[in-house]
Amino acid sequence: MIVLTPLRKFQFPVMAECISPDVFQGKSRDEIASLTVYEGNRRKKLGNLFKIEKESAENLKITIKGDVNEVRRIGSGMKSGEIMVFGNVGMHLGHKMEGGKITVHGDVDGWAGSEMKGGLIEIQGNAGNYLASPYRGSSVGMRGGRIVVSGNIGTDSGASMQKGVIKIHGKAGHFLGFRMRGGVIHVEKDVGDRAGACMTGGKIVVSGSLESILPTFTIDKMKPKVKIDQNEKVTGPFYVFLGDRSENGKGKLFASKAANPHLSSFEKLL
């Protein structure tokens, strides 16, 4: 196991995609300390910014102790192993992740899990905007894996999602699942406006209050339960809406009947 502890509070963004079990694998402490990072526009060595302790070579695990809210791209492209962070984390956590596990005991900034293909990200706090969403100008969203957030998430999360599962125990902001094509998003609490806008496939399940339903969605039926994955079903009943019809979409938006009395007028259309 490798333990990283920040030597100071960072004032500028630190690009550190080298903090990955795949990169650390087989390297000595000195070799890890010599890995290149950028603090702002200055090239530095990882050992200039972190205290590095190598406790064991038996398992492929990295532990980060302390806030690294200015450190970006931790776990980028990782395929195996485990990262555990005790503090807040900066943007692009788990970018293009393919396997392994990342656990954060704190909050995470924007674009966590962007272009994710596999593995597991667990966030014990809140997540920022664009969770599992592509970057500007790209249409490549989450393509596999699982993300679990104990707190709330920001806006534009799950955009262009193709596969995988996103589980949110708190609230979600506007434009959840924008241009979603596949996969499952489950939010246990409230969701902002325009959920599922332009979605063509996939499933969004809202167990809390849904601010509104876009006019390009049509009600299809009521359902007593909804399957989230192989191991979980959520008890309803749920209103089931199909859309986004403006995109000839076949996505499904499930809204809890109990938490959304303002949607009862749709029942006359069943």
> Quick one: pLDDT at residue 250?
97
- In the predicted model, is pLDDT for residue 119 greater than 70? yes
For range 224-243, the mean pLDDT: 96
Q: What's the mean pLDDT when you consider all of the chain?
A: 96
Q: Are 39 and 14 in contact (CB under 8 A)?
A: yes
* pTM assigned to the model: 0.96
Q: Are 185 and 203 in contact (CB under 8 A)?
A: yes
- Read off the amino acid at residue 83: I
Domain ranges of the chain: 110-269
Instruction: Please tell me the number of Cα atoms within 13 Å of 251 on its side-chain side.
Output: 37
- In the predicted model, is pLDDT for residue 111 greater than 80? yes
Give the integer Cα–Cα distance in Å for 260 and 270: 17
- In the predicted model, is pLDDT for residue 189 greater than 70? yes
Candidates 16, 69, 5; CA nearest to 43 is 16
- In the predicted model, is pLDDT for residue 58 greater than 70? no
> Quick one: pLDDT at residue 57?
61
- In the predicted model, is pLDDT for residue 218 greater than 80? yes
- In the predicted model, is pLDDT for residue 56 greater than 80? no
- In the predicted model, is pLDDT for residue 44 greater than 70? yes
Give the integer Cα–Cα distance in Å for 159 and 141: 6
> Quick one: pLDDT at residue 134?
96
Q: What confidence category does residue 174 fall into, taking pLDDT thresholds of 50, 70 and 90? A: very high
For range 172-184, the mean pLDDT: 98
